[in-house]
Chains A and B, each alone.
Chain A
């Protein structure tokens, strides 16, 4: 697992997100109202909507295209929808966010 610095926590809006371009595709970095951070593939399992543009609330992101709701810890769509999206590890050191990507990923 390699760790990459992404920028400052405050670069990610509360209740929203940003995206990161990586060899494993676009990854959404999301931050809820409490300041908790999550990283998932930036592709909604429904029709590929950019999750980085959705509303984040609690552990859920609401996809901006058709409002599917995705649980950010498990990477799974909430029922009745079905589908999943890959999650990625994040850590913070001070103000800096780090994203973990494993070699095999791309």
Chain B
């Protein structure tokens, strides 16, 4: 076998490894690859550092390529091993530790380093930069003690770090030399709105202030300004810009200005040496966002793979801010000038501001604050330089405003052209996503995995969801076709439900046969949906088909990534007893359960259980299933309530227990979570639950349609009642209406938005008869269900826990 060419990658970061990934796709066997990284980690997603700092994500979740990935692709990875020198004459790279590796090609992807403000005291302990995991770890640690944090620079990074440290409980002040934050991304009005939103979260701004010195003797004590004034600070974080890391290239004699100069093929002055990422300068531009770097990666890989076809011609970029709850999108020249016009829309009350800068009927700049849903659509027109004169009067509402009945923009994505970019970070177009979905994807995770859309900063997740909805449903590019359940049929969810009811179809197979399913076995999308519809329509007679249930609902336990399961017994309202806890502890100990953990819903989770062990563990626990694995009632979270809490005005624990006892074993289109709080302090977080109740002096407030997951939605107040009995009846009526009406896998939050609170209120609050009938229908359905764990223990339910057979050697 001919010896492979040797590729040395310097910089184990986002652009470098993306290039390697692209290269492996095209030419998996061309090179023997060695990667050198300065940092001690495998490649991680730098842009997720802020969610980690803010405590919204764990460090491990940011890993993009774990050690196994490098091993699987035969890549030698040297972490914590910076390259010190490139010897172009002998064609070797030399590391700081003295290792020498010969090369045929080099890819330089050394990124950039944080710049420090050149002021006295910048090297004092307590001054931080914000660039890598080490910074995040250090900031996480130092923030644990609280105190004042001063951020210098209100750019994207400055605001993100401010958000993160604020979430960690520090008192944050952002100092900026310009008159408003994010002056490169926002105009004065947008900046003021952003400032206000961040101030509302407790972050302070000191604008038009020039920092003069960091104060302190052996560590930071404060920050002084040029006007002589100063403020106290326990830490100072400098986010005043980045500097491409070019020293290595410069020393090797490669031409550099701000960055390493590269051609349209991403080659440096030495054609054997390629460079990508923040360290390069291309046609006079350096970039500090991943989208353009990933475009570079694609081109560089194409040439490294010896295809030699693509050219990189520069990028137009757009920015988003990743501060939870603040939506912002900007691109192009949003300030405008002499010969431009502006279209603006300002709704100060709702915190929405939209501005489009036009020149000769073409979009030159976009600035969206508060509602960014039309960002990708406008950005597409900006890039295409399309003539927008015909849509001028509704440009700021997006394409869908005509005839849009408030379905929260679900068709926004459906009407984008195929070329529109959905995921800015990874440069994934709508066409690519739709194509992949049609090949058989069903969830955001799958789309993320296959196309990388939404895999980086995640801010396009909503659009990807919309595309899933519209594509799986069958509405393509605005054509009037109705939304079929999946590719196995042309019928819609509603049509299938109607047929099941009208024709009394009592099983999945019968339904598939009656409606002439193209695929007699169905697929992972329609099988569980139809099974649910059969059970919801015919709770007594309909056949529950285990082969149409996801593994979790078939095994009555949650499958984990390693194929083990987790066991969550039901603990009503989260109230347990010492005896029960002992029993759980003993079972966990006896079976060496690897992890015992409290869930987010106040229950105990025994994790890492082999499938074979499930039945014995259930038998020994002797508790009902907590249904933590099902599209079913999960938990009713409770707070302490009036029995013990000094603020409590209602007995929230008892109500939580009663609700859970009334609703356990309820299957639903999706998981259902409840909460009961004893007073408006709302410690059980009732306002982000499917149904949440809050005790007030005169009784209870009932909230519906809240969600705390990927897309946070505050619940709507449904009504206020006096008694617990009313709470229970209305909750049941609401949930039954949801069970009968919502599409499979539609949570209450989007369902409430789709159906409208008024229609729900009319049926479950105002019309007493309907309310009662709905509640009774739910009682009837639940009465048909038995506790699955008890059934399995009694031998009436076979979850196929063990192997079919063991063959030994």
Contacts and interface: CB of A to CB of B under 8 A. Distances in A.
Interface of A: 4-7, 11-16, 18-23, 26, 29, 32-34, 47-50, 53-58, 62, 64-67, 69, 78-81, 99, 101, 106
Interface of B: 436, 439-443, 445-446, 449-451, 509, 519-524, 527, 546-548, 550-551, 554-555, 559, 561-563, 800, 803-809
Contacts of B800: 13, 18
Contact of B436 (A7, A48, A80): A80
A106 B546 contact: no
B559 A64 contact: yes
Point out which of A47, A50, A53 has the most chain B C-beta atoms below 10 A from its C-beta: A53
Given A33-B521, A34-B520, A78-B440, A22 B547 contact: no
Contact of A13 (B546, B550, B803): B546
15 contacts: A13-B546, A13-B547, A14-B547, A16-B547, A20-B807, A23-B809, A57-B519, A66-B445, A66-B446, A67-B524, A69-B440, A80-B450, A80-B451, A81-B450, A106-B809
Contact of B804 (A18, A58, A101): A18
A26 B611 CA distance: 14
Contacts of A5: 805
Contacts of B563: 48-50
Contacts of B451: 80
A7 B804 contact: yes
Nearest to A15: B547
Contact of B521 (A6, A32, A69): A32
A13 to B, nearest CB: 5
Given A13-B547, A18-B800, A53-B555, A58 B524 contact: no
A33 B547 CA distance: 10
Contact of B548 (A4, A15, A65, A99): A15
Contacts of A33: 509, 520-521
Contacts of B441: 67
Given A66-B446, A106-B809, 15 more contacts: A7-B804, A11-B804, A19-B804, A20-B805, A21-B803, A23-B807, A23-B809, A33-B509, A47-B561, A55-B523, A55-B548, A57-B521, A66-B445, A69-B440, A80-B451
A67 B807 contact: no
B803 A64 contact: no
A52 B504 CA distance: 32
Contact of A20 (B520, B521, B546, B804): B804
Contacts of A69: 440
Contacts of B436: 80
Contacts of B527: 15, 55, 57
B804 A12 contact: yes
A21 B806 contact: yes
Contact of A64 (B446, B551, B805, B806): B551
A53 B559 contact: yes
B803 A53 contact: no
A2 B436 CA distance: 41
Nearest to B68: A47
Contacts of A13: 546-547, 800
Contacts of B804: 6-7, 11-12, 18-20, 29
A60 B436 CA distance: 17
